[in-house]
Structure 1
Amino acid sequence: MFELFQSENNQKYYFNLKAKNGQVILSSQGYADRNGARNGIDSIKTNCGDDSKYERKTASNGKFHFNLKAANGQIIGSSQMYASEAGMENGIESVKTNAPDADVNDATE
């Protein structure tokens, strides 16, 4: 499920993609308005099946994470940190599996 929400000061809109167990598997950047965040969710759904859109990274502390990019190269979602490369790959597979048909829980309405 995608969860759409506003920052504490109501300045920006964000969303998280959550797995069935409630764990956040992908988080967005901040958007200036609700429609921008909704477009970001649509972009995740469109691009999540293309493995070439995933940027796999290793942080300076040795943990693994990934970004999902749109066709224009802009980052549309970022993962949490994973202890292992296999964990990161499982996270990517979870996005591919969960995002296309995920409902949107809009907490800004």
Structure 2
Amino acid sequence: MAVFQIFQSSGQYWYRLRADNGEIVQSSEGYTTKASCQNGIRSVQANCQPHRFESYFASGQYGFNHVAANGEIIGRSEKYTTAQSRDHGIQVVLQEAPSARLEDQS
């Protein structure tokens, strides 16, 4: 089962979504408070629809941005070597993020 991990680095709070195999599939930008980070996770969970993902290919790598209804990026993928791997990462977020448990490491 996937897990959202909240952690602190450089004075900010971040989340990462780990798939059940332990791989990080999506990460946040930094938040100034833990409450804002938790709100970011709730936004990810609420925006798990296929049209909320923007796929890209840049510098020889594939990736995706997870976008909220207001157009803001709420998560970024890890980099992938193939489009198929990237698309699998999107499927993991779609299927696992809505019910992923929360692990506070901050």
Q: Counterpart of 1:67?
A: 65
- Is the partner of 1:100 in helix, strand or coil? helix
In structure 2, distance between residues paired with 1:63 and 1:22 = 21
Q: Counterpart of 2:24?
A: 24
Letter in 1 for 2:51: S
In structure 2, distance between residues paired with 1:84 and 1:21 = 19
Q: Counterpart of 1:57?
A: 56
Structure 1: 5+ residue stretches without partners: none
Letter in 2 for 1:28: S
Letter in 2 for 1:59: A
Q: Counterpart of 2:36?
A: 36
Between Structure 1 and Structure 2, the one with more strand by share is: 2
Kindly provide the CA deviation profile for residues 27-81 of structure 1, in whole angstroms up to 9, marking residues without a partner as x. 0000010000000000000002x11110111112x21000001111110100011
Q: Could you tell me how far 1:107 is from its partner in structure 2?
A: 1.4
Structure 2: 5+ residue stretches without partners: none
Q: Counterpart of 1:89?
A: 87
TM-score by length of 1: 0.92
Letter in 2 for 1:54: F
Letter in 1 for 2:94: K
Letter in 2 for 1:14: W
Q: Paired residue for 1:3, among 2, 5, 13?
A: 5
Could you list the runs of 4 or more consecutive aligned residues of structure 1 that deviate by over 2 angstroms after TM superposition? none
